[in-house]
Amino acid sequence: MDVTSVRAYIKQYVALKDEVETLSKRQTELKTRLTKTIDEFGSTDERGHIVLSVPTDTSEEDDLQIMKQRRVSKNLDMDLAETILTKKGLKDKCVKMVPQIDEAAIMAAFYEGYLTEEDIDTMFPSKVTYAFIVGK
């Protein structure tokens, strides 16, 4: 092991980690500021995106553009779906009951003596992970 190289790598790693944190914070601040600017001065295009074009300083460059891109997602509203399915008589056909193991009930069974510690260790196997830590 080349101690000098390892020491240099550690110092470089710490410096880069600090720089990444600083840059990420600044990026978040700029994004917040630009988002407010788009909201105030941008216009909505035909697809629902909010777009702001900013002229550049020179005629050789294209205008800069920032956008809040519209994205639509659909998520099932469980309560409304259940109400509609019940009204239409489709609840039994469209609702699937999935068995789920209750961990609290397992532990209660253990404390009541129905399960052994070996049973618990088998059902809840240990998993080892490591965290990368650089310290002084």
Per-domain boundaries in the chain: 3-68
Q: What is the pLDDT of residues 47-89, one digit of tens each?
A: 999 999 998 887 767 889 999 999 999 999 999 999 999 999 9
In whole angstroms, what is the distance from residue 69 CA to residue 76 CA? 23
pTM of the model: 0.68
β-sheet bridge partners, residue 54 = 64
What is the arithmetic mean of pLDDT over 92-101? 95
In whole angstroms, what is the distance from residue 13 CA to residue 134 CA? 9
59 CA to centre of own chain: 41
Position 136 confidence tier, pLDDT thresholds 50, 70, 90: low
